[in-house]
Amino acid sequence: MKILVCISSVPDTTSKINFTADKSAFDKNGIQWVINPLDEFALSKAVKLQEQGASVTVINVGDATTEPVIRKALAIGANDAIRINIEPKDSYSVAKEIANIAQSGSYDLILCGKESIDYNGGAVPGMVAQLLNLPFVNACVGLEVNDGEAKAVREIEGGKETISVKLPAVIAGQKGMVDEKDLIIPNMRGIMSARTKSLQVNEPVNTEVRVEAVSYDAVPARAAVKMVTPDNLDELVRLLHEEAKVI
């Protein structure tokens, strides 16, 4: 079984987010980059499926600055990696590149996080499935693969749903696809072996971008906290009504 795992390089959640002076772009200075956490759940699941004889390839759409993150994915346990040498601009262009590799590589299973934590678009997995005309399961929190079939458990409003799909298929996962305690942390052996694993760099086949970011604005700073004494309920109600506007 051949598995393709899509990974994004995203800012660490502790990074301070800034924009350029003209607010036209994200300021990358001083940013620590990591594997998108939701992709990491998918990658850990794929590596565990190696016990059933699976081979795991990771794919990233990004420039050379993403290679340390790709090497970490190889250290976690992926067999090899592919990087599409283009800076991602929108979901469609990223999905087109992934779909092209998936189709030419005849992969049985395509795994990814349901969204990236930087833009939270959540569009790439579904687009990949549509471009390849494959079954798609989103928000997966449990996955078993046997005899050419995937049984996926996904979250729905008010509960969970179990779906069986024939492979090949695209499955977008989240926390729960593996338990947090089962996320694979690279050990020294994995880090050393990652240096010698294949990292193939491909030029993009599609340069069409359908979405353009016009400008960025930072989240407004939080207002100062106002303290209200326990015996001044009238003032609390007034503040909630006139200023917070929650009642």
Instruction: Give DSSP secondary structure letters for 133-181.
Output: T--EEEEEEEEEEETTEEEEEEEETTEEEEEEEESSEEEEE-TTSS-GG
Quote the tokens at residue 51.
């016990």
Cα gap 154→163, rounded to integer Å: 8
Residue type at 93?
S
Specify the CATH number for 2-218; select among 3.30.230.10, 3.60.20.10, 3.40.50.620, 3.40.190.10.
Answer: 3.40.50.620
The pTM for the full model equals 0.87
Helices 67-76 and 37-48 sit at what angle, rounded to 10 degrees?
Answer: 30
Which tens digit of pLDDT belongs to each residue from 7-41? 999 999 888 888 888 888 888 888 899 999 999 99
- Compute φ and ψ for 104, nearest 5 degrees: -70, -25
Tokens 């990292």 appear where? 199
pLDDT along the chain (247 residues), means of 10: 96 87 85 94 96 96 96 97 95 96 96 92 95 96 94 92 96 93 92 94 90 84 85 90 86
Cβ contacts of 103-108, under 8 Å, gap ≥ 24: 103/132, 105/2, 105/4, 105/57, 106/2, 107/2, 107/3, 107/4, 107/57, 107/168, 108/1, 108/2, 108/3, 108/148, 108/167, 108/168
**Which secondary-structure segment (H or E) carries 41?**
helix 37-48
pLDDT value at residue 14: 85
Does residue 35 contact residue 7 with C-beta atoms inside 8 Å? Answer: yes
Report which DSSP code applies to 188. Answer: H
Does residue 61 contact residue 86 with C-beta atoms inside 8 Å? Answer: yes
Cα gap 6→120, rounded to integer Å: 15
Cα gap 12→33, rounded to integer Å: 6
Cα gap 155→117, rounded to integer Å: 18
pLDDT value at residue 220: 81
Cα gap 196→190, rounded to integer Å: 10
Residues pairing with 146 in the sheet: 149
Tokens 């790709």 appear where? 70
